[in-house]
Amino acid sequence: MSQRKAYREAYPASKRWKDTTVDSKASILNKNGKVLERYNELLEEAQDAAILTRKERMVTLSNIARDADKEADSIKAIDVLNKMDNLYVTKTEMSGSVEVTNPYADLTTEELRKLAADHE
């Protein structure tokens, strides 16, 4: 809803005013700290209500997977559900060299056996 429309709804007498007058008054009112705070609260509530929860998305996708007319739609819904559950392995490719160091390289066999025994 625009500032103009909201102002006219809140102040019915403003319906007789010019648009520029209403716009000016609405702009001034919108700069009021309390009004702006309440506006932001209402905006956040509206956004929260518009967003599907994880469960709602999963139920919707499950219904599509079960009831889809096309097999491709069903497969796609299952694929998205699997991605939501992190069921796929992510492959990461690297380029360049990787330096590997062995922290036990300087230890004797006896020292390695002692370390292994300490961790059993």
Half-sphere exposure of 101 (CA within 13 A, CB side): 2
Residue 1 has pLDDT above 80, yes or no: no
Say what the pLDDT of residue 18 is.
93
Say what the pLDDT of residue 68 is.
92
pLDDT (tens digit, 9 = 90+) per residue, 22-78? 999 999 988 889 998 998 998 888 888 888 888 999 999 999 999 999 999 999 999
Say what the pLDDT of residue 2 is.
87
This model's pTM is above 0.75: no
Say what the pLDDT of residue 47 is.
83
d(CA 118, CA 104): 15
